[in-house]
């Protein structure tokens, strides 16, 4: 039956069958393992004759929910209910209305769950089913609220999908472990868990699979997580490619593209850092053009003067060599220091917008830079980027963190690492997608 609907492997088909009799269903595993397609198909099948009208579709934000569940590269809910669905609003929130085979209309509320107060968006309702994508990126309070809001469902079903993290991540230790224990004690508990990887995805040809695998270092944590779908902890140095083969990432210069400067304002015992990068409009890679760092002076008046001098020297160097800077991204919390940067731009008659850094999740930053390194899609202009190269080479895993995180105890230059992220993180998703790494 299922293999007539999609090229499913036996593991995926069995998971979907178990979903129909399980209340909690978790699809865990590597990228391109078909988790969203598999979970989405199981969700839609259950929805066809579900007795409840209102259901929930969620992700770390509503955009993630739409991309991973509603659209899902053309294989999501809108595809399954093609000709039977429409988009609209429910109580002023985004929703999908679908006509199911039982002759009833069902409503799917689309929300984000990544913030501490996200749970407020789903209070006051009872949901028949809930599908949360990237569940381990959502706030724990939100996941608990989802459980509570489905308690009185006439056929309770919750679906999660997620990519692997460190075994110490809270989702495994504080959330999933409880349900695993309950299932061990009672085989009828209703917990359905399966690990998927790229080898389970029958829609990927052998040729394409071979090409994808060739981009990974088989000994790396990213191969074990992304390809094999295993829970593996990051240990010691975070960016080993640039430690082991620095020369491979060096280029004499760069031309063209979007030029963006990241600014990190250091605190006590740290430094102000500036990193400028170039992103081609084809989004095929990144070139870091220049990195500078200046130690902070305690005196507030001298501190501002020092910041302005260092910033001025950095941007003038970049403009003289590359002709322009399109954007400046800085820590949004430091309004006084941002005003100092604006004074420098006004003095130089430069009309460059200063934007707030978007604060990509810490683990996502580490992943993006590592993927770009593996693909050989990040370069550094020789002699002008020694500061950021040293920062990346010294970055180590925080042993007390339950997720990937740079140790920030003064033993390495986290300021320049942050500035580098500010300069390029606005384009992480499109870069990884263009290079088939999402």
Tokens of 89: 């609003």
DSSP structure string for 24-63: EEEEEE-TTSSHHHHHHHHHHHHHHT-S-SEEEEEESSHH
Backbone angles phi, psi at 344, to 5 degrees: -65, -45
What is residue 437's predicted lDDT score, i.e. its pLDDT?
67
The 10 Å Cβ neighbour count of residue 200 is 23
Whole-angstrom Cα distance, residue 196 to residue 11? Answer: 8
Residue 3: per-residue pLDDT: 43
Residue 274 exposed, middle or buried by CB count within 10 Å (0-12, 13-18, 19+): buried
Quote the tokens at residue 436.
Answer: 């088939």
DSSP, collapsed to helix, strand or coil, labels residue 134 as coil
Stated as kind and residue range, the H or E segment containing 109 is: strand 105-112
Which pLDDT value is given to residue 112? 94
Q: What is the pLDDT of residue 280?
A: 93
Closest by CA position to 46, among listed 73, 24, 74? 24
Length of the chain equals 438
Looking at residue 354, its pLDDT comes to 94
On whether the CB atoms of residues 435 and 375 are closer than 8 A, the answer is yes
CATH architecture label of 2-204: 3-Layer(aba) Sandwich (3.40)
Backbone conformation region of residue 323, classed left if phi is above 0, alpha if psi is from -120 to 50, else beta: left
Tokens representing residue 317 in the block: 């160097």
Sheet containing 54-59: which strands, arranged edge to edge? 85-90, 93-99, 105-112, 54-59, 129-133, 157-162, 24-29, 191-196
Query: pLDDT value at position 438?
Result: 55
Domain locations in the chain as residue ranges: 2-204, 240-434
Instruction: Please count the other Cβ atoms lying within 10 Å of the Cβ belonging to residue 422.
Output: 30
Q: Does domain 240-434 have CATH number 3.30.2320.50?
A: no
d(CA 29, CA 197): 6
- What is the pLDDT, as a whole number, of residue 334? 73
- Please write the tens of the pLDDT for every residue from 184-221: 999 999 999 999 999 988 888 888 888 888 888 888 88
Give per-residue pLDDT as tens, 213-268: 888 888 888 889 989 999 988 878 899 999 989 999 999 989 889 999 999 987 76
- Please report the sign of the dihedral spanned by the C-alpha atoms of residue 358, residue 361, residue 367, residue 373: positive
Task: Point out the residues of the chain with pLDDT beneath 50.
Answer: 1-6
Taking the model in full, what pTM does it have? Answer: 0.77
pLDDT of residue 4: 46
Helix extents (H) in 187-237: 206-213, 221-222
């Amino acid at each position: 039956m299922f293999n007539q609907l999609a090229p499913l492997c036996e593991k995926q088909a069995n998971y979907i069958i178990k979903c129909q009799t399980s209340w909690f269903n978790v699809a865990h595993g590597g990228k391109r393992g078909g988790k969203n397609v598999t979970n989405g198909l199981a969700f839609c099948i259950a929805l066809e004759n579900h007795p409840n009208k209102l259901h929930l579709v969620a992700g770390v934000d509503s955009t993630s929910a739409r991309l991973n569940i509603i659209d899902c590269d053309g294989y999501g809910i809108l595809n399954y209910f093609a000709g039977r669905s429409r988009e609209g609003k429910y109580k002023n929130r985004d929703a999908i209305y679908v006509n199911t085979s039982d002759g009833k209309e069902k409503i799917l509320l689309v929300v984000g769950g990544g913030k501490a107060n996200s749970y407020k968006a789903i209070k006051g309702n009872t949901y028949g089913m809930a599908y949360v994508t990237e569940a381990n990126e959502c706030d724990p309070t939100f996941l608990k609220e989802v459980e509570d809001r489905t308690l009185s469902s006439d056929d309770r079903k919750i679906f999660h999908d997620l990519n692997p993290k460190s075994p110490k991540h809270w989702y495994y230790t504080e959330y999933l472990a409880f349900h695993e224990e309950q299932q061990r004690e009672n085989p009828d508990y209703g917990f359905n868990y399966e690990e998927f990887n790229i080898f389970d995805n029958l829609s990927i040809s052998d040729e394409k699979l071979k090409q994808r695998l060739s981009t990974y270092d088989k000994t790396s944590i990213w191969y074990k997580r992304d390809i094999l779908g295993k829970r593996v902890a990051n240990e010691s140095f975070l960016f080993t490619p640039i430690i082991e083969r620095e020369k491979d990432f060096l280029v004499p210069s760069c031309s063209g593209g979007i030029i963006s400067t990241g600014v990190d304002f250091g605190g006590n015992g740290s430094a102000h850092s500036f990193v400028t990068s170039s992103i081609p409009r084809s989004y095929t890679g990144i070139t870091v053009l220049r990195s500078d760092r200046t130690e902070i002076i305690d005196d507030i008046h001298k501190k501002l003067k020092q910041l302005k001098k260092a910033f001025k020297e950095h941007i003038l160097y970049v403009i003289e060599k590359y002709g322009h800077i399109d954007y400046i991204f800085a820590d949004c919390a430091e309004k006084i220091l941002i005003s100092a940067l604006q004074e420098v731009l006004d003095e130089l008659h430069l009309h460059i917008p200063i934007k707030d850094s978007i604060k990509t999740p810490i683990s996502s930053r580490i992943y993006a830079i590592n993927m770009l390194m593996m693909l050989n899609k990040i370069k550094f202009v020789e002699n002008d980027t020694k500061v950021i190269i040293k920062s990346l080479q010294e970055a180590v895993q925080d042993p007390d963190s339950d997720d990937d995180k740079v140790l920030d105890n003064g033993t390495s230059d986290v300021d320049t690492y942050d500035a580098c992220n500010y300069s390029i993180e606005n384009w992480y998703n499109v870069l990884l997608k263009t290079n088939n790494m999402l």
